[in-house]
Every structure is written in C-alpha cells, then in structure tokens.
Amino acid sequence: MKYVLKLEAAGLFMFATALYFLMAAGSWTLYLALFFLPDMAFLFMFVSKKATVVAYNILHHQGLMAVVGLAGLFFHQDIVLRIGLIFLAHAAFDRVAGYGLKYADSLDHTHLGWVGKSKQLHQSVD
C-alpha cells in the first residue's frame, strides 16, 4: 500500500508542478525560492515541539494548499495561486519521500509511519 500512496503523491507532485508552469505561467526562480519554504516550519522548534507540529502540518496539508490555490484562482490573485501550487507540490514531494503529517508525540512519527532514527525502533513486519 505504501507504494501506491507514493505513486499517488508522485502524480500529484507532477500535476501541481505542471499546472504551476502551464496555468499560472510561473517562473523557475519563484518555484525554487518557495519550494522548500514549508520546511521552515521547523524553526518553530525554538517555540515548542507542539508549535512545530502545528506549523508543519498546516504548511504540508495537501487539502489546505489546494484550497489556497483555488482561492487564488477564484479571486484572480496569481501569487496566491502560485503559492498554493508550489506548496501543494512540496507536500506531495514529501509524501513521495515518505514524510507525512506529524503526530505530537514525536517529529519522527507521521501519518505514513515512522521516519528517521525512530523507523528501526518501530519497524513492523510487512
């Protein structure tokens, strides 16, 4: 099942990226400048682990980023559309890499399973 989810995420990544360059007539400069911006949520670690989890999950929520993109389309705000598509592509890219939305108990615990150092500790038999 995890390979099906990764394939689905790869398709969404390609779709959001293609839509960015076709529909939003985006530039590579803006795309590359903003692509990893959602990962800056880890700066909230200076506040608390809970703040980090909340910020990370908001910036990596595919549904929310789709709504942001649609709002940009609906209200004719090109930059909002572009940001929504870039962040949606980033969230899908993270899913392909095996990273999901975070649980509050550990930053290594995601809705897709365990990642990082904790993966070996919590590995299940497939």
In a domain, 126, yes or no: no
Q: Residue 39: inside a domain, yes or no?
A: yes
pLDDT in tens, 4-24: 999 999 999 999 999 999 986
Output b/e per residue, 70-105; b: 16+ Cβ within 10 A.
eebbeeeeeebbbbbbbbbbbbbbbbbebbbbbeee
Residues 52-94 have pLDDT tens digits of 999 999 999 999 999 999 999 999 999 999 999 999 999 999 9
Total residue count of the chain as it appears in this document: 126
Distant-in-sequence, close-in-space partners of 43: CB < 8 Å, separation ≥ 6: none
Domain range for 87: 2-121
Instruction: Say what the pLDDT of residue 126 is.
Output: 42
Is residue 15 in some structural domain? Answer: yes
Q: How confident is the model at residue 120 (pLDDT cuts 50, 70, 90)?
A: low
- Structurally, the chain folds into a number of domains equal to 1
Asked if residue 102 belongs to a domain, the reply is yes
Cα–Cα distance between 114 and 123 in angstroms, integer? Answer: 8
Helices assigned H by DSSP within the chain: 2-22, 28-35, 49-59, 62-74, 78-96, 118-121
What band does 110 get if pLDDT is binned at 50, 70 and 90?
confident
User: How many other C-beta atoms lie within 10 A of the C-beta of residue 68?
Assistant: 21
